[in-house]
Structure 1
Amino acid sequence: MNPSKKSIRYILHAFLAWSLAGLLAPVTFAANTIWLSTPTDGNWSTAANWDTGITPVAGDTLVFTNSAITSTTNDVIVAANINAITFAAGGDAFSIWGNGFILNGNVTNASANAQVINTDVTLNGDRTLIGGAGLTLAGQGTLLNSGGNRTLNNWLTNGSSLTINNITLSEAPATARTLTLQGEKGNTTITGIIANGSTASGTMTYAGGGAVTMNGAAASTYGGTLNVNNGSWLLDFVNLTPAVNLLGGTNPIALGGGTFGIIGKSTGATFQTNGVLTLQGNTGNGLTLTNNGGAGTTLRVASVTRNGGSSLQINTSAGDSVIAG
């Protein structure tokens, strides 16, 4: 049976009404959102603080330039993606507080000022930090390695440094993960602890051309290997009391063309114990101990495994010692 003209007209009207409703329905798209120079307050939830007049949503790229208010609070995006964060050229020094978020892209600091992100930050992929000034990531929180093995590329230049508070290597129970810190020029300071985050032992790898310095007030608890494939990994005991095992107490160390160093506390003796020290094949490596005016620095490793073509240069100051076994 052929439909009547009346039924065809009814169907057409219904379709047009449905289509129009879809067009008019409010839709929120991810966008570049710029923090204004004269915001009402420091809260991200205040729509009037942004150039779009809309509160940021998950997936947005946030841009910070010059502003009368530079201490800002993420009180709207909770454990959701931020596509990227840019601190624009010529911009002020900002600090970001509040809710933690998932970093779904890179952080760029094009300004001449150091920038501070104090929230928890989750890495759900390999990420790059770009710029010519310093950056603090998870300064009052934790950098979480999530969903797999991740690489954090530090491409801060001009002598700038990256500062990270705590690092957790895995969010998944019984799943070991590896976090690789990489970069040709920028140095990194870890002011907190490194933890497994699961019942499995995670791994830290450094493959940069600068130095990573751990100087926290508490001992790290992760149990896996520390790989130093380039540059230097330094344990600075300045804030740890007593000065014993800043890097756990059993972690194996594998040197693949890098240097492992200890800077002792300026008072009393400093002790660090680790698992097997492995020298990767065909690499030149270093161990450096500095007593820093204290009563001597001691590094004890369970044993040393030397692969073909590898070498180890040991530099110590008076009263320092390296013990195997």
Structure 2
Amino acid sequence: MIGFSGATASAQSVWNGGGTDGNFSTALNWASGVAPTSAVTTVLQIGGSSQTAINIDTPFSAQSLTFLSGASAFTLSGNTLSLTGTGGVNVTNSSASVQTIAASMSVASGGFAATGANMTVSGNVAISGNNFTLTAGGGKTLTVSGALTGGITAGNFAINAAGGTVVLSGASTIGNTINIWNGNVVAGTSSSTTTGGAFGKGSVSLGLSGQSSSSILVSGAYTIGNNIRVITNTNGAVYTLGGSTADISTYSGAISLGTSTAAGTAGMGVTLTAASGGRVNFTGGIRHETTSTAGNSSDAVTKTGAGIVAISGTNNTYLGITTVSAGTLLVNGTLSGTGAVSVASAAVLGGNGTVSGAVTVASGGILSAGDMDASGTSLTGTLTLGGGLALNTGSTLKFDLGSASDLVAVTGNLILGGTLSLTAGSGFGAGTYELFSYSGTLTDNTLTVGTSPAGYAYTVDTSTAGVVNLQVVAVPEPAPLVLMGAGMAAFLLLRRRPARCAA
């Protein structure tokens, strides 16, 4: 039984589906043989395996609703179900079966919990209290596809995934901050502070001190416009933002790293991820919280996942390091923080923006100036690196060359190494192509030419201070007449060879 603080003596009514229909009002559907009374003291419990399509044939009020441990899969539909108990959980799935509530609900303070198996709430939910929690147990999924409405302006709206997943895909209009911790939250629709959506009209707080790793992932081609704050945590928890499908999704709100409740607090890092074939755009800025410790470097960014993450805009002020561990990170805006950027083996750093910190590309890592289109094909552009560039032996440098070509503009020192991978663009031909510019010193550890358009000879030219050029010379093909003459000469030579005398 679910307990609620301040509740009077409750009356339990257990569904066993013994009637000839699935109506709530049918007495034989209840173990007591008496239909429950619509009242705040009524505790509804659903069990058994009969009459699994339950019809709430008249509007009904109760304290709470629980699917018992042995219950089969049920679907509740019909009129509005009002659950007016406070201080506990309004709806709990304790069974091992997937449960669905398609009816609209009106609830007070409390929440929904999928602890035994998955649960879907597809009807709209009006929340009248000031504290509400969505909970999914380990490995379980709670899906809320109906709209969540209500103020919750004085209390707390929380998502405690508890090692499971909470999916939000309804047109919610909650105005309070949503606090997320202990698991995964999936946004299955767009959201903004103007129109609402997955996260309503408020902001989002990701993480809680002392809690475990958490994530927000977009499932589909949706835009999340809510501001998101990643809360400081000292227990090693990892907080992740990104997309989980092969779609183009966008976070257009500001991403703040660290708390703002007290000056001098530390920042907090975040992991950005995109699924294979997907792209996630962060356009609202990833910023160092202004009240966090000045110079703090813990508000780092790590790129994971096989897909593309693109950062644009000028309000990317986080101070920590940026690590490209997998997939592609495109910088199409300005990373104004001074933290270093490292590119791991098989990972890609690209874009047409500016990186203020020093960049190091490991052996196997890839540097590719310019943006990418929806298919992942590289586009021509200039990538500006304000803190120097170190290219390790074994790294790959991808350049599109033509009438418009890629350029890596380095402010500071350039350590040259690795292998060029060249693609012919429109207007490509013989000539001189500027690959790098730099303002500091050059350490030439040899840049070799790998994959390249056929019919040309290539020479890396470092003789001019401040630039690294590529000299491209067309290699003439043998003329047809020359080839014919060479063939005829060989034929005549064979004819003139004397025959060997017989012994």
Instruction: Report whether the alignment pairs 1:75 with 2:57.
Output: yes
Does the CA-based 8 Å contact 1:300-1:322 persist in structure 2?
A: yes
Which of these residues, 65, 88, 106, is aligned with residue 85 of structure 1? 65
C-alpha separation in 1, matches of 2:274 and 2:255: 21
Q: Specify the SS of the correspondent of 2:113.
A: strand
Amino acid at match of 2:113: L
Q: Report the equivalent of 1:225.
A: 203
1:143 aligns with one of 108, 115, 125: 125
Change (3 A) 1:276 1:210: closer
Q: CA deviation at 1:84?
A: 2.0
Q: 1:313 to 1:130 in 2, by over 3 A?
A: same
Deviation at 1:117, TM superposition (A): 1.6
Q: How many residues were matched structurally?
A: 274
1:273 to 252, 257, 261: 252
Partner of 1:51: 31
Which position in structure 1 is the counterpart of 2:242? 262
Give CA-to-partner distance per residue, 1:149-190, whole Å, 9 cap, x none: x13152524x11211113435258xx5764111253232111
Secondary structure at the aligned position of 1:54 is classed as coil
SS in structure 1 opposite 2:269? Answer: strand
Question: What is the CA–CA distance in structure 2 between the aligned matches of 1:168 and 1:128, rounded to whole Å?
Answer: 12
Structure 2 residue corresponding to 1:61, chosen from 43, 67, 73: 43
- 2:165 matched to 1:187? yes
Q: Distance in 1 between matches of 2:63 and 2:164?
A: 23
Contact 2:114/2:137, CA 8 A, preserved across alignment: yes
8 Å CA contact retained: 2:177, 2:203 = yes
Aligned residue number for residue 188 of structure 2: 215
Deviations 1:285-311 (A, max 9, x none): 3131315314x3211124613323542
CA distance in 2, matches of 1:34, 1:252: 44
Does structure 2 retain, via aligned residues, the 8 Å contact 1:277–1:301? no
Which structure has more relative contact order (CA 8 Å, sep 6+)? It is 1
Q: Distance in 1 between matches of 2:275 and 2:116?
A: 33
Q: Which runs of 4+ in 1 moved over 6 A?
A: none
1:66 Cα deviation after fit: 1.3
User: After superposition, what is the alpha-carbon deviation per residue over 1:64-92, rounded to whole angstroms, capped at 9, x for unaligned?
Assistant: 221321010112334x3x22222222221
Over the matched positions of the two proteins, sequence identity in percent amounts to: 23
Partners of 1:168 and 1:36 lie apart in 2 by: 30
Instruction: Give yes or no for contact 1:44–1:73 (8 Å, CA) kept in 2.
Output: yes
User: Could you tell me whether the CA contact under 8 Å between 2:257 and 2:268 is conserved in 1?
Assistant: no
Q: 2:301 — aligned with what?
A: 313
Q: What residue number does 2:96 align with?
A: 112
SS in 1 for 2:146: strand
| Alpha-carbon distance in 1 for matches of 2:157, 2:10 | 29
User: In the alignment, which of 205, 227, 233 is matched to residue 252 of structure 1?
Assistant: 227
Alpha-carbon distance in structure 1 between the residues aligned to 2:160 and 2:65: 20
Residue 19 of structure 1 aligns with which residue? none
Gaps of at least 5 residues in structure 2 are: 1-8, 260-264, 315-503
Offset from partner CA, 1:120-175 (integer Å, 9 cap, x none): 23331134626321222x32x22333232x13152524x11211113435258xx5
User: Structure 2 vs 1, CA of residues 142 and 292 (structure 1 numbering), >3 Å: closer, same or farther?
Assistant: farther
Counterpart check, 1:121 vs 2:105: yes
Which residue identity lines up with residue 51 of structure 1 in the other structure?
Answer: A
1:176–1:203 contact (8 Å) kept in structure 2: no
Structure 1 residue identity aligned to 2:241: G
TM-score by length of 1: 0.73
Q: Using a 3 Å threshold, how does the CA distance of structure 1 residues 73 and 153 change in structure 2: closer, same or farther? A: same
Mapped contact 1:205–1:228 kept (Cα < 8 A)? yes
Task: Name the amino acid aligned to 2:204.
Answer: L
Q: 1:36 to 1:168 in 2, by over 3 A?
A: closer
- C-alpha separation between the residues in 2 aligned to 1:128 and 1:118? 14
Contact 1:300 1:323 in 2 (8 A): yes
